[in-house]
Every structure is written in structure tokens, then in C-alpha cells.
A and B are shown apart, each in its own frame.
Chain A
């Protein structure tokens, strides 16, 4: 490390590696700088400017996500100038679309009474699906931004709901570009991009077609990184209860062999959402099956009781009846035809512990090495 690589943020000195941005140094040292467009793993664009900081000697405040730290730099992360700039930025974003979580439409209300009103009635008229889980809302609250003085602008573009997985609500899009970066720089599917100009600007799929008619493969990376409610999973509308208790469990995806780390959100014993966990090997990325293919878990067609064939038909049985039958028939066949007339097919789908038990059963109980699974299929 270069000895001169020392930067001062809020009167504290920190070392940094050449090439690190002010934001990276701050994040490493637990100094809060708000971000909206910044996306880990993608090239910083400095588009939203909410991460601005004051640098001594600079002509203007600078975006910390795209400004490299320099030796001797003096940074103020939340000076009055910075706060004023952030307020302005957030106010403009709130005004740019249908962000009714601000207190704008409720003249006599303050934040607290607005919150209470929303909490009282989950079906509040046009309540945003990201309410309570929105980075813009968090920042509006943190910086106490009001939008009363600014006129509301409506979106020219209707909501897109024609695919089975993702709802695109252009009225809530703040054009931060995170979805575009996720699609082009992280997943490299190149399905979406910025389209049109000025007030007509919009995130477009292909030649401005619906996602299902574009190159989109519904990996959902864009939904996971959207800081507002411009991109939401369809299930959020169908299943997820906003204020119900949600338990989150980190586990491993059960589809292909990549072993993506996933976070299951569960309400009332039902999976209501799956997100990629920011860990090896997938760092938050998932595919369409891993993210949206979980209906089978709560499927009505799940087997719930043992079945035993009687007079040609499979009929419900107790565990005792089924297990005794299996143990008796296996014992008889082993005695009559020998161990090597029997086999076990274990599974590439069950856990390693269960595979271990299956081969132990074949070898120690049936006394045969006739054990295999579908590794070749």
C-alpha cells in the first residue's frame, strides 16, 4: 500500500488502495453515504447523484461513487451543503412519478400520522407495493423531504403485466439504471436499455416491446436490484402480505449443480419470495427457476401419506403398515433371491446425509453394492 494513500472523511483518517472510490472507502469504514444508482460489480455511472459529498478545494460537490479517493483529500459526507443537495435530488425523484408514499397528498398530515394511516389499513388506496422496502422512501424519510410545492407528473407509459413473473410500473421508475446495469453488466443478457429522451425517457426491452417478446430470460436480477417499485415480482401482489411476519432462511437452491445461495421469505409456512443471497458462488444472481420456480413446495399435489398397492390400486396407508410391508418384502426377497437381486436408486436431489444413509442401507442392510443414481442422465 502507498503510504501517502490517506484520505480524511468527517475528520477521521483512512487508508485506501489506489483506484478505490470515496464511496468504497466510506463503506469499508462504516460511514453512511446514501446510494440509489450504485450497483456492486458494475461500472459506476454517477447518474443519480444522491451519493454526493463535499470535497475541500473542489469547485462543486462530487458523486462519491465515481470519484477516486486521492491522497490528502478532505471529505465531508453529510455537511449542510450535501444535505441540501440530497434533499433536492430526492425531491425531484419523488416528483418524477407516482411516489405517493411522500406526504405530498395528505396536506395536514405529518410522517407519523401518514405511517399510522397506512399501517391501519393495508389496502390503502394505491399503496405502493414497495412501501416499507424502498430505498427512495427510506431516503425521503431520512432527509425529511416534502414535495408539496412540486407538481406531480404522471407517466406516459402503462404498467406491463403480460409476463408471468415481473410487473413493470413505469410510473414509479426513477431511471437510476440499476436494472440496465444488472442486465447488461452482471447477467449480460442485454435485454433492456435506456430508451427515448428527456421527459419521454424509459427503460425499454428490445425495441420497446414487452419483456416476454424480448431477449429477457426472467432471471429477475433487475427486480432484485430495483430500489423502488418500478419492477416487482408478480407474487408480491398475489401472495405476500405486506405486514405479516416474514421469516427469512438462507439455503441452497435445489435446481442445477451451481449451488446458488438463496434467501427464502416465508409467511404462514409458505414461501412467498426467493432472493439471491449475496454470497459465493452466485453473489445475488439467480435464474428463472431458482427465483420463481418454488410453487411445487406448497403444491396441492404433494404426497402427504404413504400409499400401498391393494387390488391393483394405490391406496392410503399408515406409516406402520407401509414400513412393515416394505421391511417384510425386502427381507423375503433377500432370503429367497439373494442380496444381489435387489437395488437402491438414491438421488442427486436429496441431501448428502440422505445419500449416505441410502448407500448405508444398500450395503449394511441389503448387503449389496447395487446402489446408483441418475448422475448419467
Chain B
């Protein structure tokens, strides 16, 4: 997030899109809901009638995969009605003239044709957003999990820059991160193209620094493969081994039937986890690890706040800490890695990670610090881009609407979108061990609109077969007013009826994120 969680409550207008916040970030949603109690304006732009729409002044319901069109539509109105922030554009950005050209054709009427959002709603929403003193944009996987995910995000940045809502309290473009330490995993270089703090792997200076601190030579300067491409290569037999730590791709990955084949095709698969997950079950070696309550360390949350994790209980049996297991393998492979404790690792992180250099475990004993925090006397950075953007001036990107990779046709007439629900988390390896959570949400469901259900002559609770070009699952029908006609929602948590058997593994060309939010399916009464 460019801004903090608490900061959201101070915005005059909050635009939430592609985020079912009350279910996926429940505590963060309280800040949004409280803002509406204080008279602040909430705009929700989401194809499903999610809970948050009940708190919203405006709810726009776009067709799946048409985000660029409505964002361009808002910008069209804002430019047309001269509501944009000329001073901000002049001083802080470049590329405005180019997008002005691109945006010309996105008239409210044209946008209505693509998105299904009435032109009058586009106009009203554009005015609300542009006229606000401070407007915050919050988004989540509904924006990113598309073949045009990167362009969707750039479009939101365009919109925010256009109105000068970046780099100040109550504003910002705020991705809500879905996992406890996904921010930390990225910050720590758990990505194929960067070391810690997003330092490029092909930068000779960075490689030199790492080789010195690590006492090794020959670090590769060739960017690696994202997981989606590793799987692709494994399927063809060009990828031989994977060491998986605390992930369960055999439920979470798209097009599971393919992924399963690919994983089984590996020569050697090691899985390190706290449970015998679906992925661990096909491994050659399974290593038992600690869970969060058993170890010391840090997590970085969605607002870049580095916070302490503390040991409260002893781990069961012969389980060991993840870092310790990895170090032991390294040492046995001839590269000794020894640390007395996680705190010692953090000290090494500080040496090679400019944005974490000023953070110490002592400093965050009572409360976390937002990175970047370059020195020990730096207070941390709750709000990014206050004086300038990372690259200097903010660059407008001229972006055209691009349809999803797979759209409904006669054979597969419905759109499928997937996501999470309140009572479960990701692949359920943790939440499905809780009797209470299982009682509240015992099994997968297929959410459908009352109209579609009536048309198919299907009733609530009946078992249905859902097919896509890639797979089939069986689950119970849930008729819901949340659903839009023609679109079906299925949570992806449940291995028994894994929605990802249906999803499309087509990727965004830049971020390599799969298009989990749109594919074409058909639905039938259970055979």
C-alpha cells in the first residue's frame, strides 16, 4: 500500500474495486465501514453484490474483465469536465498528453457498451472521485488476476495521479495483500528477478555486494522463472527439482489437472510444511516445519509495516524451524549457512537491504515500522511518494481495454470467477483444522444468481457438475443475491471440489499472474 491502513479512514472518498474486503481483509474493512459512519463516501466497483455494497454511496457493477474500460471512462469524464489536478500533473508526472489521446474514445456511452455500467453512473462516480479532497483507492486480486492485471493496476495509478490523490494522507493506490507475509516474501527477494528490496539480479553492483556478504562467487545474473513458468517447463520435462516451503500449489494453482501432471513429472520434489498437504502427498521428501506460534521472526504487513512474530508454544515432535532446515541442506551441499537465531538473520538482511537497514528488532519491540527505513534514526515511511515517485516523475501509461483470454460461448456459456470466503483461508490447510470454521463453512459451493438458477431449473442446495475446457468439479448450488446474471462464483479453498480444476492458466505477460478471475464454464445437474 502507498498509504497506511489507518489512513483509509481519513479519506473523503474511498474507491474499493476487486476486493471483497469484509471477507478477505475483515479488520481492514472496519476502517472503511467506520469512514462511512462518519459521512465519508464509499464507491464499490465490483461484479458481485458483496457486503461492502451495503455501505456504499455508489456501486458500479462491471462485466468481468472490463476494468481498464471503466477506469478510462472515469478519466474521460474527469478530463472532459476539467476536474483534473493540473498542478500535480505539471509538477509530478509525465506522459499526460499521450493518455489524453487514448482516453478520448472512452466516452461514457462507449464504456457502457463494454462494461455494462450505465453512462450516468460513470459520470457521477467520476465527479465524486475527482472532486474529493482526498480519495483512496483500495484494490485486490479482482484487479490483478487477469491477463491484463498489470495494465489494470497502471490504470488505477493513472486515475489517482490524474486527480492528484497520490503522495498524501487519505489518498493513495492501495493493494490489499492477501497473505500474512506476502509483502515480506517479496521484500526479501522471494522473486525470480530481484534480490531483497527489489534490487535487480542482473545489476553487477548488486551481485558484487551479495557475493561479498555471502562469501560466495558465481551468483547468476540471469533472471529466473516465475512458478507458473517452472510448472510449464516441468510438464515438458525440462525442469527437474523443486523445493517447496509452506505452499500448496496443488490446490492454489490454476488449471490443476495440468499442474498435477507437471509436479509428478519432476525428478525430485521436496515439500517443507506443517501438514501433509495435497502437494506434500506427492513429494519425494517431506520435512516437518514450525508454525507461526512456534517461532521468532518478522512479518511485513500490507502497509509495509515490519512487525515481530514471537514464539508462544513448543513445536510438536521432531519439527524444526524453516530457516534451520534450509541452512542444514545448504551446509550439506558444501555452502555452510549457520545462524544462532532468526535475529542474527535479520541483522544480515539489514546489511543487504537498504529499505530495512534502519529497522532493528529492538526498535519494533512495541510496534512495527513502515519501510523504507534507511537508517536507525529514520522514523519509517507510512506514506510513499510524498515528494517524488520512485522513478522521479509519475508516468502516465496510455492503456487500451483488452478482453479476457477466454469468454463465454455456446458451449461454455457462463463466466466463472473465483475467490475466498470469510471462514477459510487459501487452501484451507489451517482453517479446515478448526471445527468451528468448518461448521460455518463445511464445503464448496457454486454461487449463482436467482435468474440463472431459474433458467436452468435448478434449486438451492442441489448438487451440480461444473465444467470448463480444462476440468470438472461437483459441488452444491448456492442461489445468492450476491451473484450477477451470467457469472458464477466458486471459492477456491476446497481440494475436494477445487475451483482451480476449472480455471485458466493464461498469464499476464509482465507479472505472470494467471487469469483466475475469468474463464468460461458450463453447469449441469449432477450426473
Enumerate chain B residues within 8 angstroms of A354, measured Cβ to Cβ.
245, 297, 321-323, 326, 342
Contact assessment for A289 and B425 in the assembled complex, using a CB-CB cutoff below 8 Å:
yes
Enumerate chain A residues within 8 angstroms of B144, measured Cβ to Cβ.
376
CB distance from B270 to the nearest CB of A (A): 5
B301-313 to A contact mask, C-beta < 8 Å, 1/0: 1110111111111
CB distance from A263 to the nearest CB of B (A): 9
Contact assessment for A343 and B224 in the assembled complex, using a CB-CB cutoff below 8 Å:
yes
Is B188 an interface residue when CB atoms closer than 8 A count as contact?
yes
Is A158 an interface residue when CB atoms closer than 8 A count as contact?
no
Is A360 an interface residue when CB atoms closer than 8 A count as contact?
yes
Enumerate chain A residues within 8 angstroms of B240, measured Cβ to Cβ.
333, 337, 341-342
Residues of A282-332 at the interface with B, using a CB-CB cut-off of 8 Å, are 282, 285-290, 292-299, 301-309, 314, 319, 322-327, 329-331
Enumerate chain A residues within 8 angstroms of B288, measured Cβ to Cβ.
302-306
- With A282-B27, A372-B224 known as contacts, the answer to whether A326 contacts B246 (CB < 8 A) is no
A281 to B436, CA, bound (A): 26
Enumerate chain B residues within 8 angstroms of A280, measured Cβ to Cβ.
6, 305, 367-368
Q: Which of A7-15, A109-117, A135-143, A264-272 lies at the binding interface?
A: A264-272
Enumerate chain B residues within 8 angstroms of A360, measured Cβ to Cβ.
214, 330, 337
Contact assessment for B319 and A303 in the assembled complex, using a CB-CB cutoff below 8 Å:
yes
Contact assessment for A370 and B224 in the assembled complex, using a CB-CB cutoff below 8 Å:
yes
Is B454 an interface residue when CB atoms closer than 8 A count as contact?
no
Residues of A in contact with B, size category: 35 or more
Enumerate chain B residues within 8 angstroms of A347, measured Cβ to Cβ.
181, 185, 190, 245-247, 322
Is A159 an interface residue when CB atoms closer than 8 A count as contact?
no
Residues of A317-370 at the interface with B, using a CB-CB cut-off of 8 Å, are 319, 322-327, 329-331, 333, 337, 339-365, 367-370
A307 to B289, CA, bound (A): 12
Task: How many A-B residue pairs have C-beta atoms within 8 angstroms? Tell me.
Answer: 464
Is A254 an interface residue when CB atoms closer than 8 A count as contact?
yes
Q: Which of B29-37, B158-166, B391-399 lies at the binding interface?
A: B29-37
B164-193 to A contact mask, C-beta < 8 Å, 1/0: 000000000000111111111111111111
Q: Which of B91-99, B100-108, B271-279 lies at the binding interface?
A: B271-279
Enumerate chain A residues within 8 angstroms of B247, measured Cβ to Cβ.
345-349, 373-374
- With A188-B33, A258-B5 known as contacts, the answer to whether A373 contacts B289 (CB < 8 A) is no
A342 to B195, CA, bound (A): 18
A258 to B177, CA, bound (A): 7
B191, B238, B430 — most chain A CB neighbours (10 Å): B430
Q: Which of B128-136, B226-234, B445-453 lies at the binding interface?
A: B226-234
Enumerate chain A residues within 8 angstroms of B193, measured Cβ to Cβ.
369
Enumerate chain B residues within 8 angstroms of A339, measured Cβ to Cβ.
220
Which residue on B lies nearest to A263, using beta carbons?
A: B312
Contact assessment for B241 and A341 in the assembled complex, using a CB-CB cutoff below 8 Å:
yes
Which residue on A lies nearest to B298, using beta carbons?
A: A352
A252 to B306, CA, bound (A): 10
A348 to B423, CA, bound (A): 19
Which residue on B lies nearest to A356, using beta carbons?
A: B188
Contact assessment for A355 and B314 in the assembled complex, using a CB-CB cutoff below 8 Å:
no
Is B376 an interface residue when CB atoms closer than 8 A count as contact?
no
B281, B293, B296 — most chain A CB neighbours (10 Å): B293
The contact of B434 among A282, A293, A343, by CB within 8 Å, is A293
Is A185 an interface residue when CB atoms closer than 8 A count as contact?
yes
Is B210 an interface residue when CB atoms closer than 8 A count as contact?
yes
B137-159 to A contact mask, C-beta < 8 Å, 1/0: 00000001100000000000000
Which residue on A lies nearest to B175, using beta carbons?
A: A257
CB distance from B328 to the nearest CB of A (A): 5
- With A252-B309, A257-B302 known as contacts, the answer to whether A301 contacts B275 (CB < 8 A) is yes
Contact assessment for A370 and B180 in the assembled complex, using a CB-CB cutoff below 8 Å:
no
Contact assessment for A253 and B180 in the assembled complex, using a CB-CB cutoff below 8 Å:
yes
The contact of B287 among A261, A322, A346, by CB within 8 Å, is A322
Is B291 an interface residue when CB atoms closer than 8 A count as contact?
yes
A307 to B291, CA, bound (A): 18
The contact of A292 among B181, B430, B437, by CB within 8 Å, is B437
Is B252 an interface residue when CB atoms closer than 8 A count as contact?
yes
Residues of B213-263 at the interface with A, using a CB-CB cut-off of 8 Å, are 214, 216, 218-220, 222-228, 230, 238-247, 249, 252-254
Enumerate chain A residues within 8 angstroms of B184, measured Cβ to Cβ.
348, 351-352, 355
Enumerate chain A residues within 8 angstroms of B455, measured Cβ to Cβ.
none
Which residue on B lies nearest to A260, using beta carbons?
A: B27
- With A258-B302, A346-B190 known as contacts, the answer to whether A296 contacts B430 (CB < 8 A) is yes
Contact assessment for B333 and A365 in the assembled complex, using a CB-CB cutoff below 8 Å:
yes
CB distance from B206 to the nearest CB of A (A): 11
Enumerate chain B residues within 8 angstroms of A367, measured Cβ to Cβ.
218-220
Contact assessment for B180 and A326 in the assembled complex, using a CB-CB cutoff below 8 Å:
no
Is B25 an interface residue when CB atoms closer than 8 A count as contact?
yes
Enumerate chain A residues within 8 angstroms of B425, measured Cβ to Cβ.
255-256, 289, 293
A97-126 to B contact mask, C-beta < 8 Å, 1/0: 000000000000000000000000000000
Interface contacts beyond A258-B5, A349-B246, A373-B227: sample of 17 additional A-B pairs, CB < 8 Å, sorted by A: A186-B34, A254-B291, A261-B307, A269-B313, A288-B423, A304-B318, A309-B283, A314-B276, A330-B243, A337-B240, A343-B243, A345-B249, A352-B300, A355-B181, A358-B326, A376-B145, A377-B253
